[in-house]
Amino acid sequence: MDTDKKQLKAELRSQMRARLEKISPAVRAVESIDFGERLKTQIPSAHTILFFAPMLDELDVWPVLELALALGTNCALPFFDEEKKHYVARQLMNLKTDIVVGKFGLREPASTCAEIPLDKFDLILVPGMAFDLSGNRLGRGFGFYDRLLERAAGIKCGVAYDFQLLAKIPSEPHDAKVNFILTPDRCLKAAR
């Protein structure tokens, strides 16, 4: 059964990757603006937010991160801890001086940035290849976010294009779930 789910997940990742590759930079920019406007309404109620550094095929959350920092919100990004072989959260104070290129080529906080315990977050923005109506998340297949999310407190909010929200995706016991899915057009509470 697990082999079947792994195969289904691999096929779904491939389908999503193909759809994501077709998104033009102009469409990504417009969708990211729409998403950002929707997300901005959530910022005032969150005191500590874990953002993510978007890849080129993901919605761009960076402008909202800049705004949240300007408003005095405690903001962090995942940082890959080489010793522990998993992600921790490190606080950002200044995007010009605190950001480095991390282990996997993604923007991360510098190792000098203070670590924020994962149980201190009000809101965690979660990237994914796909999400379903029950809050299941299909990641990129490495399990890093599943391990981060299992240790994290706060509202976990999946970030996706509308086509990445599916009725059902295959899930396994180790897969972390999200509470909400936020797209450029809607915010859905996951059915439990």
Mean pLDDT along residues 149-171: 93
What is the reported pLDDT for 38?
84
What is the reported pLDDT for 40?
83
pLDDT tens digits for 99-144? 999 888 889 999 999 999 999 999 999 999 999 999 999 998 777 8
Q: Kindly list the strands in the beta sheet with 187-189, ordered across the sheet, starting from the edge strand earlier in the chain.
A: 115-116, 86-92, 74-81, 48-50, 123-126, 155-159, 180-182, 187-189
Domain that holds residue 132: 2-189
Is pLDDT at 156 greater than 90 in this prediction? yes
What CATH number does the domain containing 135 carry?
Answer: 3.40.50.10420
Number of compact structural domains in the chain: 1
Mean pLDDT along residues 164-185: 92
